[in-house]
Amino acid sequence: MTQQGVRWTAEQVLALAPDAASRKAGSKLAVAGPWSSAGTSDEGTVWGLCKGSGSKPYQTVIDVADSTGPAYKCSCPSRKFPCKHALGLLLLWAGDDTAVPPGQAPDWAQQWLAGRRTRAAERTTRTDAASGATSADPEAARRRAERRADRITAGAAELEQRLTDLFRGGLAAAEQAGYALWEETAARMVDAQAPGLASRVRELGAMPGSGPGWPVRLLEECALLHLLDQGWLRRDHLPEGLAATVRSRIGLSGSPDGPPVRDQWLTLAQYDTADSRLTTRRIWLYGTGSGRTALLLSYGAAGRAPELSLPVGLAFEAEVAAYPGAGQLRAALGERFTAPEPSSVRPPGITPSEAAARYGEALQDDPWLDAYPVTLTRVIPAPDGDSWQLIDADSELALPLTSSARSRPGLWRLMALSGGAPVTVFGECGHLGFTPLTAWAAERKDAQGSTGQTVALC
Amino acid sequence: MSGTTNDAPSSTPTTPVPAWEELVTTALLGTDRRTPPGAVPGRDAPVALLDAAAVTTVRRRAGIRPVRAAARPEPAAPDWRPPLPPAATRRLTTLLTDRPGTGGGRRGAAPDLMELLPQWLALANAYGYAAPPETLPALLDAARGRTDLRPAVLAFAGARALWLARLNPDWRFALRAAPGGGAALPGPDAPERVRQLWQEGLFSERVALLTAMRVRDAASAREVLSSTWATERAEDRLMFLDTLRTGLEAADEPFLEAALADRSRNVRATAAELLSALPDSALARRMAQRATACVAVDHTGSASAASGAPTIVVEAPHECDPGMERDGVLPKAPAGRGERSWWLGQLVEAAPLGAWSRRFGGRTPEEIVALPVADDWQGELHGAWCRAAVRQRDPGWSRALLGAPSAPEAGGPGAVSLAERAKLLATLEGGERAEWVAGFIATHGLSEAFQLLGVCAVPWAPPLGRAVVDALNIARDAGSYPWSFSGVMGLAERCLDPAETVRLEPLTATPEDAEDAAPGAGGYWAEAFQRLTTTLRLRATMSAELAPPGGS
């Protein structure tokens, strides 16, 4: 299933940690001292006994090569997932060949693995049965979908009314109306089962307080919201691709229906955004054979890390299926055939001008798109007053960085990596600027001919 | 980016679309007050406005273009040092992830990674590796929080870190810490630049220049200093004078003699101190004369009871004359001290130690220190000799004053305090130092040893390491809690030779709690020893990871 000797880097392991405290605790356990009988098998299993404060050591086992991502089991009482023992053991495994030697898994680890495989097999059977069940009553499903569509239509109509009222009185008055008006409207959209509308409305509420130029931003976002309402209300007249995009923007997620694409997928970036309810994880993949870029989304309840985690800079073979909608990059991860391993493949890069054009073209399929993933080649990060730029090394043109990118520590890793010389940067390019997510140094002449190290910036 | 799109060619409309500014103005005022261009007033006006705004917004976004490039940064100088081995790079990332402030509470059995960073940096610097560029921000952040890390971090981080620090105000310290703000100081081949920097530079730059020159060529540093000496401010004169400590030589004497007449008392005192460290200086001779006049050997036996053995008698000065004052003796005693003993102490401290052998008929330092001292003057006299031995870095006298480590008074309040013993130890060569402290710990245990351990070379020499481990073991058996020894434990984690791990192994098991022991102490000791062995193993792994590939 996997190959002996492919071990992750410390960064890749640390990316699995649910929070900073776990990272710290795990790092401390990444030493041979507390561990005994640690080992790893050809099937991608890592196990070990960790001396804790009690008399009985904790039993820790990790299935690195599982097709749905690393799976963990530890006898410690921690509710964090993965716990510090799993992280510590993986770090030890990543860093020290002698401390975690190849071997035969002990019985307690074998039992867990066997249990998992059985359950996985059952799950597959059950899913097959479940999909059979839905198709058994298509009429009921159709009626449910119709009822929801009616509610959304009512919600969109109401939202249109509110926008009309707002523009009749003018945005200047909106500054006084404050947040409450938008919160209430957002709650109405939640009731209407249109989460996409609700979150857009909620964002409008913050705009009057967002500094100079807020009327322009508010007008733009109101106009796009109006466009989305109109798109929904007239979805029957839209071409199928655009209609699917409208449905997904409204919040009708649908399910991936594209043909599964089997490829060697390189993880370009992984980052989380969180609000009070939900942690959203975005993972950008690059198909090294197909040249496709795909976005995986996974979610965790507030304060918990989403379960799917892929180490940046590693590639694995898997099937990926696209979600419906014209120009959609979102995809679902299907079966995984290999464990992530280092790859020297890099996405081909383009210039800042081409990147801006790429975003503009993508708007044709999805006018609500804020940014588009691109890899820039030969750009130099540079300060520009209070702001920052990525300068095309071969012209006098540059892309400004987004304000969120300016305040992240990754900016300084990017600067340090570049040192004033051109680098390759993957990120999201949009109307607010460019957000760098990953960078590769230019090849160092004195480094033993290796390709530039992948440096995560988020 | 949208700011640059207004004049983009793509905004040339194919269908009449109202200008964006007009739409914004209408939106602000409201369609009740202003009808959007191309729309009919009334109910549908807001919809017309939103329609037009939606088209324009998408058009604007689709038309974004790159902006004009700002000034390009001057590229950082290439770092030609060899790159770190991959395992060492991973280790560094892990060490830097361990930030203070996360976690907290009891330390448990896990090593304190941040405490290992200094050793890691020292090793990496010894091998001369280049820092991986992406680690520079974390390194600079670590050095920002811990001033003791700065020299090692900045050496490892190299020129690119200074390049980076110029862009981020949080890292300004790096520019201050590097002499001349990161720019190279002018060398001996650029006398004109030296002169200019000395005359026009900031105070810190001038001190850095003087210090650097002093290391290279003591005479030219003195020359530069003399050239402006008379016009410098008193506090600056004091700092400049201090740089002469480096490479102090006989040729400095005339300059220092002249400084004895300085207007500032602090400058006078520093000049006198420096002169007294030159045993052949006129000041040292004068002080020797004064000091030896106060101390004599009485052979009559009248001072010591019955035995008739020679005894040191002390006759402290009766006045502080202007000559003494000119030679740096402070006339006014601090509160609680007698004037005469205050003056005596200063005379003996400044007198060359060689003078005492002559004064006492060729006796060795050991013999002199062993002589009884009449009338309670021993503490005063021995204390002054200690200060002299430290100032003159005289191992012979230090050895004599330290005495045997197993002597009963070595651990208690004898004539020489622990702080003074630590300073005396520092004048001895490393092996001897470790040997003495090992003997001290074997006799007196750990409670007083902390200061003495601090001056020992790292990693600890085998006898010292064994003494510490044995003493910890004894402390455990005594049944107290380990945190009474947390200071020594922390030192041991950083300083014990990893080769000692084997000897520690049996101590990591949790023992049965003894009858009279503190509750649970055994478990905590086991945990403390686990942390110690884990840390030592980690240190061994760390240094193996840093070994250059190909080398064995």
CB proximity B76 to A under 8 Å: yes
> With contact defined as beta carbons under 8 Å apart, do A382 and A426 qualify?
no
Which residue on chain B is closest to A366 by alpha carbon?
Answer: B58
pLDDT grade, residue A25 (50/70/90)? Answer: confident
Which residue on chain B is closest to A416 by alpha carbon?
Answer: B133
Distance CA B88, CA B84 (A): 6
Q: Indicate yes or no: CB of A419 within 8 angstroms of CB of B66.
A: no
> With contact defined as beta carbons under 8 Å apart, do A192 and A213 qualify?
no
Which residue on chain A is closest to B79 by alpha carbon?
Answer: A446
Asked if the bond preceding B498 is cis, omega within 30° of 0, the reply is: no
For residue A131, is pLDDT > 80? no
> With contact defined as beta carbons under 8 Å apart, do B533 and B504 qualify?
yes
CB proximity A396 to B under 8 Å: yes
CB proximity A398 to B under 8 Å: yes
CB proximity A92 to B under 8 Å: no
Residue A335 phi/psi, 5-degree rounding, is -70, 140
pLDDT for residue B2 = 44
> With contact defined as beta carbons under 8 Å apart, do B232 and B224 qualify?
no
Nearest Cβ partner for A223 among B31, B50, B534: B50
The closest of B524, B451, B455, B533 to B492, measured between CA atoms, is B533
Contacts of A11 in chain B (CB under 8 A): 93
pLDDT for residue B13 = 42
Q: Among A47-61, A339-353, A396-410, B248-262, where is mean pLDDT lowest?
A: A47-61
Tokens matching residue A311: 């180490």
Mutate to test the interface with A, among B33, B34, B47, B64 (most CBs of A within 10 A): B64
Enumerate residue ranges in chain B where pLDDT < 50.
Answer: 2-14, 100-106, 180-182, 304, 552
CB proximity B338 to A under 8 Å: no
Distance CA A319, CA A337 (A): 8
Tokens matching residue B21: 């500014």
> With contact defined as beta carbons under 8 Å apart, do B248 and B275 qualify?
no
Nearest Cβ partner for A399 among B50, B66, B76: B66
Which residues, 6 or more positions from B195, have their beta carbon under 8 angstroms from its beta carbon? B224
Listed in sequence order, the DSSP H helices in A349-428 are 352-365, 403-406, 410-418
pLDDT for residue A227 = 97
Which residues, 6 or more positions from A48, have their beta carbon under 8 angstroms from its beta carbon? A35, A36, A37, A38, A39, A60, A89, A92, A100
Nearest Cβ partner for B75 among A361, A413, A421: A421
Check the CA dihedral B85-B90-B91-B96 and report its sign. Answer: positive
The closest of B419, B412, B414 to B443, measured between CA atoms, is B412
Q: What is the pLDDT of residues B196-239, one digit of tens each?
A: 888 888 787 788 888 888 888 888 888 889 888 988 888 889 98
Nearest Cβ partner for B32 among A169, A219, A397: A169
> With contact defined as beta carbons under 8 Å apart, do A356 and A429 qualify?
yes
Query: What torsion, rounded to 10 degrees, do the Cα atoms A378, A383, A388, A391 define?
Result: -20
Which residue on chain A is closest to B68 by alpha carbon?
Answer: A397
Q: What is the pLDDT of residues A178-234, one digit of tens each?
A: 677 788 899 999 999 999 999 999 989 888 878 888 999 999 999 999 999 999 999
Largest CA distance in chain A: 74
Q: Indicate yes or no: CB of A353 within 8 angstroms of CB of B24.
A: no
- Residue reference for tokens 């200008």: B19
CB pairs under 8 A between A and B: 238
pLDDT for residue B302 = 57
Distance CA A424, CA A380 (A): 9
pLDDT for residue A66 = 66
Q: Which residues of B360-370 are buried (b: 16+ CB within 10 A; e: fewer)?
A: beebebeebbe
pLDDT for residue B287 = 93
For residue A450, is pLDDT > 50? no
Q: Indicate yes or no: CB of B160 within 8 angstroms of CB of A220.
A: no
Instruction: Express as a percent the part of chain A with pLDDT over 90.
Output: 46
Provide the chain A residues 45-64 that lie in CB contact (below 8 A) with chain B: 51, 53, 55
Cα A366–Cα A278–Cα A372 angle in degrees, nearest 5 = 25
This prediction's pTM = 0.72
The closest of B196, B197, B192 to B179, measured between CA atoms, is B197
Q: Indicate yes or no: CB of B66 within 8 angstroms of CB of A163.
A: no
Residue B445 CA: distances (Å) to CA of B28, B413, B472? 81, 15, 9
CA distance B125 to chain A (A): 18
Q: Indicate yes or no: CB of B134 within 8 angstroms of CB of A432.
A: no
CA B354 to chain centre: 33
Nearest Cβ partner for B29 among A170, A417, A455: A170
The closest of B242, B190, B244 to B214, measured between CA atoms, is B244
Check the CA dihedral B351-B355-B361-B366 and report its sign. Answer: positive
Which residues, 6 or more positions from B535, have their beta carbon under 8 angstroms from its beta carbon? B111, B112, B116, B493
Check the CA dihedral A291-A292-A297-A298 and report its sign. Answer: negative
Mutate to test the interface with B, among A23, A415, A429, A437 (most CBs of B within 10 A): A415
